[in-house]
Amino acid sequence: MKKMIMELADCAEDELARSFAPPSPGTQLSVEQAYLLAYQSALQGAGTVRLNPMVGVVLVDRRHRFLALGWHAYYGGPHAEVRVMEEITAQGLAGELAGATLYCTLEPCCYEGKTPACTDLLATLPISRVVIAQTDPNPRVSGQGVRLLQQAGIIVEVAPVFRRRVGDLLDAFSCNHRHQRPYIAAKIASSLDGYIGSRGAKRHWLTNERARAYTHWLRQRFDAIMVGADTLIHDNPLLAPTLFPSRGLKIPWKIVLDPRGRALDFKPLKELALVSSKTAVLWLLGPERGALLGPELQAAAKDLGVELVTCPLNPAGRFVINELLALLQARGIGSVLLEGGRFVWGSFAAAGVLDKLYLLQIPQLMGLREGMAWNEALHLSRPVVLHKVEMTLLDDNWLLAASLEQEREIL
Ligand code: AOF
Ligand code: ZN
């Protein structure tokens, strides 16, 4: 187990999710091992818990030996705390709970939603301690879960090291509650000197296998993947996550930003890779092009799972971001991964609603003459300091992940 921790320390999140191997009951765990296992458990819900947070828990006995773990597996389903207790019952381990510690990636909930309050369940158990990575940004919980557990005689710790270990696991959920809007992340793959491709010509470099696997994982983690008209026309991307085989996986929405309808007029919809029966496509058009849509095209698009929608444009001819966010929210989209291109990243950054940057880089210099820089359309009203910066080496590629918004802890 110690060796496993050392090896996992250098892993990207998708690799951590896939190397999940619960230990047998009775295995001695370090605190760091308990954090990591809770985190890995939470990741098992990626792509299925949509709009609810990914949550993982690990239960250890009074001598810090592993008992059981659980995670929130799907929207509306039992919470991680309920799952871990089902496991305890199934394994006949209820007798080991006296003095036990529960590690939770999120503060236990304290109200009856689609499922009963976890604090009620925990208060009936003889456990001594609950260690959480962070409090719940949901105002119906928000520190109240901690207080109720304390009133039940349980010691509660909010552990900053645990918080760091779980990375951005709960950031989308937090953003939805704090700002009442979808969480927005940009995924950019560039050369070392910051170029995403050469002008006019086809792309002639590629990220390595680990970086590509990570991209697929990211797509699965988000409710929707967004591209602009240029990216669609140049790359005809599929935008599908294909790697992590979790039960009941929901394929993310695909969203196309096409203010003037150039992508719509470029090819028949059914010839586009991203149009497939398995996915819902939301295709946004500016009002002028939207007004030209005939009922025939609307109906044909609908048959292919494509919803053609009109959204207002600003004087620069780009979508008004607040209107766009409202459209997404109305469809239950809580998180969006922006896959390109420059104007898509630029519009969200300029509107101050870009929450996260995932920058994958390859060891290649493209040079000024050839290169098209990812930041060419990045007009910021002021310099932005990034937080929670993480670097992961993926063989000869590397990933820089960082938040644009500083976190505020509720308690
Ligand atoms: C937990 N453990 O595993 C999760 C929690 O509608 P419900 O009943 O599913 O409740 C959803 C809310 O519960 C969600 O908004 C968040 O505040 C919390 N999620 N809490 O104790 C879990 N998924
Ligand atoms: Zn709960």
Whether 81 lines ligand 1, by a CB cut-off of 6 Å, is yes
pLDDT score recorded for residue 377: 84
Q: Do residues 85 and 144 both lie within one domain?
A: yes
Per the confidence metrics, is the pTM higher than 0.85? Answer: yes
Catalytic residue (choose from 13, 81, 96, 107): 81
- Domain termination site, one of 117, 141, 165: 165
Q: Which residue in this structure is represented by tokens 């050392």?
A: 6
Q: Which atom from ligand 1 is nearest to the alpha carbon of 115?
A: 8
Q: How far is the CA of 319 from the centre of ligand 2 (A)?
A: 38
Q: Which two tokens stand for residue 99?
A: 């003095």
Q: How far is the CA of 121 from the centre of ligand 2 (A)?
A: 9
- Calpha distance 19→22 (Å, rounded): 10
pLDDT score recorded for residue 408: 67
Q: Do residues 58 and 195 both lie within one domain?
A: no
- Calpha distance 14→360 (Å, rounded): 14
Report the alpha-carbon angle 229-232-236, nearest 5: 165
**Residues with CB in 5 Å of ion ligand 2:** 79, 109, 118
Q: Which residue in this structure is represented by tokens 């409202």?
A: 326
User: Is residue 314 in a domain?
Assistant: yes
Among protein residues, the one whose CA lies closest to atom 22 of ligand 1: 79
Q: How far is the CA of 169 from the centre of ligand 1 (A)?
A: 14
Whether 73 lines ligand 1, by a CB cut-off of 6 Å, is no
Three-class DSSP category at 71: strand
* Residue 409 known to be catalytic: no
Three-class DSSP category at 43: helix
- Domain termination site, one of 165, 199, 215: 165
- Calpha distance 139→107 (Å, rounded): 12
Q: Do residues 201 and 274 both lie within one domain?
A: yes
Our mutation pick for probing the ligand 1 site, out of 79, 170, 175, counting the most ligand atoms within 8 A of Cβ, is 79
Whether 33 lines ligand 1, by a CB cut-off of 6 Å, is no
Structural domains in the chain (count):
2
Could you list the residue range(s) of the whole structural domain that residue 186 is in? 179-406
Three-class DSSP category at 8: helix
Whether 118 lines ligand 1, by a CB cut-off of 6 Å, is yes
Per-residue pLDDT of the chain in tens (411 residues, 90 and over written 9): 555 655 676 799 999 999 999 999 999 999 999 999 999 999 999 988 988 999 999 999 999 999 999 999 999 999 999 999 999 999 999 999 999 999 999 999 999 999 999 999 999 999 999 999 999 999 999 999 999 999 999 999 999 999 999 999 999 999 999 999 999 999 999 999 999 887 665 655 689 999 999 999 999 999 999 999 999 998 888 887 765 555 567 788 999 999 999 999 999 999 999 897 678 999 999 999 999 999 999 999 999 999 999 999 999 999 999 999 999 999 999 999 999 899 999 999 999 999 999 999 999 998 877 778 888 888 888 888 999 999 999 999 999 999 998 776 555
Q: How far is the CA of 77 from the centre of ligand 1 (A)?
A: 9
pLDDT score recorded for residue 197: 80
Whether 113 lines ligand 1, by a CB cut-off of 6 Å, is yes
Among protein residues, the one whose CA lies closest to atom 3 of ligand 1: 79
Per-residue b/e over 351-366, b at no fewer than 16 CB within 10 Å?
A: bebbbbbbbbbbeeeb
User: Is residue 172 in a domain?
Assistant: no
User: Is residue 174 in a domain?
Assistant: no
Q: What backbone torsions phi and psi does residue 346 show, to the nearest 5 degrees?
A: -60, -45
- β-pair type (253-258, 281-285): parallel
Q: Do residues 315 and 186 both lie within one domain?
A: yes
Q: What is the CATH number of the domain that holds 316?
A: 3.40.430.10
Q: How far is the CA of 176 from the centre of ligand 1 (A)?
A: 14
Q: What is the CATH number of the domain that holds 106?
A: 3.40.140.10
Q: Which two tokens stand for residue 315?
A: 């004087």
**Number of alpha helices (DSSP H) and beta strands (DSSP E) in the chain:** 14, 16
pLDDT score recorded for residue 402: 96
Q: Which atom from ligand 1 is nearest to the alpha carbon of 136?
A: 17
pLDDT score recorded for residue 4: 63
User: Is residue 171 in a domain?
Assistant: no
User: Is residue 304 in a domain?
Assistant: yes
Among protein residues, the one whose CA lies closest to atom 14 of ligand 1: 52
